[in-house]
Amino acid sequence: MAPQIEPQLLTVEPNYRHVLRARVALTSFIVAIGAIVIDQTLLRDTPFRGVLSIAVPLIAMPIVLVVPQRRYLRLRYRLTNQILQSVQGWLFQTDTLVPLVRVQHLDVTRGPLDKMFGTASLVVHTAGTHNSTVTVNGLAPERAAEIREIIRENVRSDFA
C-alpha cells in the first residue's frame, strides 16, 4: 500500500493580521497610559520626568508594526484523516499534533475583534491534562465550522 501524502500546512486568514495588530496596539496603549501616569506621578519631581511619556510610545510603535506580522507569518495548521496540527510562535515555536481519536469536544469562538475582521478560532478539547486544549486561531468562520464538522464526523465514525 502506498504511503498517504500529507497535505501542506495551510496559512490562516489574512485579516487575522489586523486582529493581532489591534490586540498588540490595545496592549501597547494601556502600557503607554500606565507609563504616562507613572511619569506624571512618581517621576514628577525628578530629572527623569517625561522620559517614560516619550520612550514607551516610541518603543511601542515599531512593536505594533512588526510583532503582529511576524506572528501571523508563523501561524499554520493542517488537518488529515488522523491528526490536526497547529504551528504557531515567533520567538518560541509550538508545533502541536492532536490525534483526532483523542478529541473530546470542539468549539468555534469569535471575540469582538474576530467579528470585526471576519475571523474565528477553533478550540479543540482533548482527553488528558497536559495541553488538553489546542486552539487554531485566525480561521474564516466558515472554515472553522467546516473543520469542526469534519473532526466531529471523524470522531463519531471512530466510535460507530
Q: Is the pLDDT of residue 159 over 70?
A: no
Q: What is the per-residue pLDDT across 57-83, written as a single tens digit (0 to 9) for each?
A: 999 999 999 999 999 999 999 999 899
Q: Is the pLDDT of residue 8 over 80?
A: yes
Which pLDDT score is estimated for 90? 82
Which pLDDT score is estimated for 5? 54
Of residues 68, 63, 73, 54, the one with CA closest to residue 28: 63
> Three-state SS string across the chain, please?
CCCCCCCCCEECCCCHHHHHHHHHHHHHHHHHHHHHHHHHHCCCCCCCCCHHHHHHHHHHHHHHHHHHHHHHHCCEEEECCCEEEEEECCCCCEEEEEEHHHEEEEEEECCHHHHHHCCEEEEEEECCCCCCEEEEEEECHHHHHHHHHHHHHHHHHHHC
Q: Is the pLDDT of residue 104 over 80?
A: yes
Q: What is the per-residue pLDDT across 33-44, written as a single tens digit (0 to 9) for each?
A: 999 999 999 988
Which pLDDT score is estimated for 131? 72
1 confidence band (pLDDT: 50, 70, 90): very low
4 confidence band (pLDDT: 50, 70, 90): low
Q: Is the pLDDT of residue 139 over 90?
A: yes
Which pLDDT score is estimated for 158? 59
Instruction: Give the start-to-end residue ranges of the domains of the chain.
Output: 16-72, 76-159
For residues 121 and 144, the answer to whether their CB atoms sit within 8 Å is: yes
In Å, how far are 6, 31, 75, 132 from 60, measured between CA atoms? Answer: 40, 9, 23, 34
Mean pLDDT, the chain, integer: 91
Instruction: Express as a percent the part of the chain with pLDDT over 90.
Output: 81
122 confidence band (pLDDT: 50, 70, 90): very high
Query: Nearest 5°: phi and psi at 81?
Result: -70, -20
160 confidence band (pLDDT: 50, 70, 90): low
> CATH class for domain 76-159?
mainly beta
